[in-house]
């Protein structure tokens, strides 16, 4: 684990859930006894007040409830009450309200509701102001009368009338181009709660919310502090549009674009198929717009696979949908962009389409391939996520327990996935009772989860290389857990808290405190900065700090093997491994480097005898903030998949490694005549496998970054940044490579020889290129990207 994400951010789920449960409970207590109005609402209105615009109308009754109707006059949603929160008087909800018609500064009519609050509110006031434009209601609640308000706890009540589907939550984003260059990135554009009927939809759009605090009665609508109180704002958009279009309309942005496919994860299983890419343009402005819609699709080499432009006029508050189609390649990734322009207004969106044929993995329980953290983003649903994990070659989940985020142990068991558990929060230096309570609770949780391994806490070795906490960790965490597992006769094995970096100072203190004899496996997190995975500086030369060489992969891995050899044999686990793709950050990987580094990381781990690599993590996102874009937080960018569920090149690289190494065994490192050329040799049922690369361009990634900034203009993922290409002539095996060998098709293996002698080359994302030997030799073109070869001899480093 490197310094670019906080050590326990991704393992604070227990505390997060407890905190959310407490707040939700507080809300539940505050709203107990609420009775929502029924069909008699219209009859109760003594003096209705109405405002309307194309496609929408609002009517407020004498009790302050506001009825929202569509263009056909059908009531869809009813705004009921408002809930304020205050540190002195607690949660206070309105009990009624008096509506009136007012005129806004721009001359439009609006409804104002002066809400009634109970005497216990101690002078808190709430005023609602509601206005409409085409298909949109703008909702504003002004709260005053107190200097101790808690705007983060504000909520508004709503009743959805006769919906045909449950309410759904979606995070909205906007794509941005940086003025300084580099790759585009997403930023947050609010969130929506979607209401659905057979003939239309409604969307509550807010700048932010906590979905876990929203329930059937209340929407969590945090306010913003003002000089005399606080304000909560939201929008209600009616129409058959999609969530992103509703966000554009609700925020009155000039243009918005959303792209998507109907294929789960935008993932196809073979070539030659149509890959429809859907796009929806929204005009959030007040006037009609002539819109030019352009699109392109590129492969991993930047070749244009499809492009075009269409034009149309989009009415104010309306949308325009188009579908563009590209043919799927046999294997690989397709980068797409759709952009809309109207005069000086522009909006665009990107997504990735990918092709990954199915494969019959055969390593079973011996597989090295796992996923760290919880696969908690269960979109579009749990079966689809399980299918994705199976397709990528994932066989083990690092953390699973009943009541935890993501997939429970029974679901993983039924689907054939092994699972461990990691639990943090050891009360180091606590009382005897506190320590016992932690150990009792968490050991029982591990046993109850039927975990294969209990990783006792996470990254507890701060400050790095200081040696602190080791003895307290053994005394207050590891020993109590081991004692309880032994007493229970549990089969669960134990590993230490996965260390952030290969902290050999902490490990020595851990051994000296008796910890080494209490573990069955040794775990660490080989955090990596802007270095290739095969960069292996001597531990004596490691530098510390946020950008220190301590954060290297192979050097740490070799040091771990050295420690195990000295202290006593243990299984070696990488319970987190990384290829962070924070955009335009020189310390992190570009999308292309990440794919190359995923493959090489996993190949090196296999060569070094690692038992399991848990990749961190499945999707870009942060637990508790599902799919909310966060370009500046590195923690957000560790996924194999993008926020929108589409694959990064990293996902295909992970699958390529899992397929190539599925039944492979490491033979040796290759010793090529040119010392800058590197290689690994594996044996497999399909014959020798060589992985080759060059380091003529060095071990430092993004070396041309500004010296005084964390930002640099990252290249697009289809740009090959390796400047030096080296030709290597090697001998091909006699005959030919096995037919259907390696990660191909549905995993058919062997069974014959090709009639023409060929060498198969796979790039980091698994795309195949056939090379025909001449007089038994083949020329390979190497650079910094690792490539896989079938059909070479088992001595590819011999003179040729």
- Angle (CA) 216 218 221, round 5°: 135
Confidence of residue 744 (pLDDT cuts 50, 70, 90): low
Q: Is 746 helix (H, G, I), strand (E, B) or coil?
A: coil
> CA–CA distance from 609 to each of 55, 203, 240, 560, 665 (Å)?
65, 52, 55, 11, 10
Longest C-alpha distance within the chain, in Å?
97
- Give yes or no for residue 503 having a pLDDT over 50: yes
pLDDT of residue 794: 95
Query: Each residue of 258-300: pLDDT tens digit?
Result: 999 999 999 999 999 999 999 999 999 989 999 999 999 999 9
pLDDT digits (tens, 9 = 90+) for 21-53: 333 333 333 333 333 333 333 334 447 899 999
Asked whether the beta carbons of 732 and 773 are under 8 A apart, the reply is yes
Tell me which of 4-18, 178-192, 657-671 is least confident.
4-18
Q: What is the pLDDT of residue 706?
A: 86
Cα–Cα distance, 668 to 608 (Å, whole number): 10
Provide mean pLDDT across the span 607-631. 94
Q: Which residues is 337 bridged to in the sheet? A: 296, 350
Q: What is the pLDDT of residue 640?
A: 98
Query: What confidence category does residue 710 fall into, taking pLDDT thresholds of 50, 70 and 90?
Result: confident
The reported pLDDT for the residue numbered 26 is 36
pLDDT of the residue at 29: 32
Q: Residues 675-703: what's their mean pLDDT?
A: 97
Neighbours of 55 (CB within 10 A): 20
3-state secondary structure of 95: coil
Segment 136-163 shows an average pLDDT of 98
274-282 β-sheet, strand order: 256-260, 274-282, 319-327
- Please give the angle made by the CA atoms of 29, 31 and 36, to the nearest 5 degrees: 150
User: Tell me, what's the pLDDT at 10?
Assistant: 37
Tokens of 395: 């066989």
Q: Apex CA 153: angle with CA 148 and CA 154, to 5°?
A: 95
What are the helix and strand counts (H, E) for the chain?
Answer: 12, 42
Terminus-to-terminus CA distance in the chain, angstroms? Answer: 42
Q: Rounded distance, CA 507 to CA 504, Å?
A: 5
Strands 571-577 and 521-525 come out as: parallel
Rounded to a whole number of angstroms, the CA Rg of the chain reads 29
Structure-block tokens of residue 145: 């009368």
Q: Give pLDDT tens digits for 305-324.
A: 999 999 999 999 899 999 99
The pLDDT confidence band at residue 449, using thresholds 50, 70 and 90, is very high
Average pLDDT of every residue of the chain:
92
**Dihedral sign from CA coordinates of 364, 368, 370, 372:** positive
Weakest mean pLDDT among 234-248, 364-378, 391-405, 701-715: 701-715
Pair 141, 128: CB distance under 8 Å:
yes
Closest CA to 324 of 307, 302, 311: 307
Closest CA to 67 of 117, 137, 114, 116: 137
Identify the pLDDT of residue 754: 37
pTM of the model: 0.91
Rounded to the nearest 5°, which phi and psi values hold at 594?
A: -60, -45
Confidence of residue 625 (pLDDT cuts 50, 70, 90): confident
- How many angstroms separate the CA atoms of 311 and 447, rounded? 61
Reported confidence tier of residue 624, pLDDT bands at 50, 70, 90: confident
d(CA 401, CA 408): 5
Residue 95 has pLDDT above 60, yes or no: yes
Contact 788, 689 (CB under 8 A): yes
């Amino acid at each position: 684990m490197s310094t670019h994400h906080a050590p326990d951010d991704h393992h604070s789920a227990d505390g997060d859930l407890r905190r959310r449960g407490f707040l939700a409970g507080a809300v539940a207590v505050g709203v107990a006894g609420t009775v929502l109005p029924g069909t008699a609402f219209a009859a109760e209105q003594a003096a209705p007040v109405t405002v309307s615009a194309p496609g929408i109308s609002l009517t407020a009754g004498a009790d302050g409830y506001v009825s929202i109707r569509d263009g056909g006059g059908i009531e869809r949603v009813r705004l009921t009450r408002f809930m304020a929160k205050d540190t002195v008087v607690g949660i206070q909800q309105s009990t009624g309200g008096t509506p009136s018609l007012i005129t806004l500064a721009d001359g439009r009519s609006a409804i104002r509701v002066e809400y009634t609050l109970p005497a216990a509110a101690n002078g808190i006031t709430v005023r609602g102001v509601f206005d409409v434009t085409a298909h949109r209601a703008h909702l504003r609640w002004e709260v005053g009368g107190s200097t101790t308000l808690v705007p983060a706890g504000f909520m508004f009540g709503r009743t959805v009338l006769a919906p045909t589907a449950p309410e759904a939550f979606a995070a909205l984003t906007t794509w941005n181009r940086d003025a300084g260059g580099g790759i585009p990135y997403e930023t947050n554009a609010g969130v929506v709660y979607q209401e659905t009927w057979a003939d239309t939809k409604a969307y509550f759009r807010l700048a932010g919310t906590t979905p876990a605090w929203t329930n059937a009665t209340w929407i969590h609508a945090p306010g913003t502090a003002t000089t005399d109180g606080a304000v909560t704002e939201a929008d209600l958009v009616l129409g058959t549009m999609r969530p992103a279009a509703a966000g554009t309309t609700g925020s009155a942005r000039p243009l918005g674009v959303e792209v998507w496919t109907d294929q789960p994860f935008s993932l196809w299983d073979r070539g030659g198929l149509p890959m429809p890419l859907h796009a929806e343009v929204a005009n959030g402005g007040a006037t009609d717009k002539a819109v030019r819609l352009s699109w392109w699709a590129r492969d991993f080499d930047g070749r244009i696979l499809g492009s075009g432009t269409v034009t149309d006029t989009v009415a104010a508050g309306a949308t325009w949908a188009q579908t563009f189609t590209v043919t799927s390649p046999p294997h690989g990734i397709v980068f797409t962009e759709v952009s809309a322009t109207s005069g000086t207004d522009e909006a665009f969106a990107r997504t990735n389409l990918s092709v990954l044929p199915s494969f019959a993995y055969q390593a079973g329980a011996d597989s090295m391939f796992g996923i760290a953290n919880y696969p908690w983003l269960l979109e579009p649903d749990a079966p689809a996520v399980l299918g994705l994990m199976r397709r990528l070659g994932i066989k083990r989940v690092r953390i699973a327990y009943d009541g935890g985020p993501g997939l429970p142990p029974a679901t993983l068991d039924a689907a054939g996935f092994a699972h461990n558990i990691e639990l943090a929060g050891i009360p180091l230096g606590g009382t005897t009772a506190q320590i016992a309570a932690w150990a009792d609770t968490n050991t029982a949780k591990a046993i109850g989860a039927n975990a294969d391994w209990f990783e006792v806490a996470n990254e507890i070795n701060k400050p790095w290389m200081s040696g602190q906490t080791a003895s307290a960790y053994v005394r207050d965490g590891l020993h109590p857990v081991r004692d309880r597992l032994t007493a229970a006769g549990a089969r669960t094995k134990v590993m230490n808290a996965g260390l952030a970096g290969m902290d050999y100072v902490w490990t020595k203190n851990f051994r000296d405190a008796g910890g080494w004899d209490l573990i069955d496996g040794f775990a660490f997190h080989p955090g990596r900065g802007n270095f290739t995975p095969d960069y292996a500086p001597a531990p004596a030369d490691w530098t510390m700090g946020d950008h220190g060489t301590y954060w290297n992969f192979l050097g740490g891995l070799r040091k771990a093997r050295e420690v195990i050899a000295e202290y006593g044999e243990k299984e070696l686990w990488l319970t987190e491994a990384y290829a962070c793709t924070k955009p335009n950050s020189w310390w992190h990987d570009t999308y292309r480097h990440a794919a190359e580094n995923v493959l090489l990381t996993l190949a090196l781990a296999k060569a070094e005898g690692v038992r399991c690599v848990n990749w961190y993590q499945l999707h870009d996102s942060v637990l508790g903030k599902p799919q909310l874009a966060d370009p500046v937080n590195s923690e957000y960018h560790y996924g194999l998949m993008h926020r929108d569920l589409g694959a990064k090149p990293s996902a295909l690289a992970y699958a390529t490694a899992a397929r190539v190494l599925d039944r492979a065994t490491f033979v040796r490192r290759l010793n090529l005549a040119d010392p800058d050329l590197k290689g690994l040799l594996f044996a497999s049922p399909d014959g020798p496998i060589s992985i080759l690369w060059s380091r003529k361009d060095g071990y430092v990634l993004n070396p041309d970054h500004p010296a005084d900034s964390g930002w640099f203009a990252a290249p697009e993922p289809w740009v090959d940044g390796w400047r030096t290409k080296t030709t290597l002539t090697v001998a091909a095996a006699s005959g030919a490579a096995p037919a259907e060998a390696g990660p191909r098709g549905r995993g058919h293996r062997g069974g014959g020889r090709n009639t023409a002698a060929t060498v198969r080359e796979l790039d980091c994302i698994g795309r195949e290129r056939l090379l025909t030997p001449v007089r038994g030799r083949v020329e390979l073109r190497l650079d910094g990207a690792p490539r896989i070869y079938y059909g070479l001899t088992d001595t590819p480093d011999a003179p040729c």
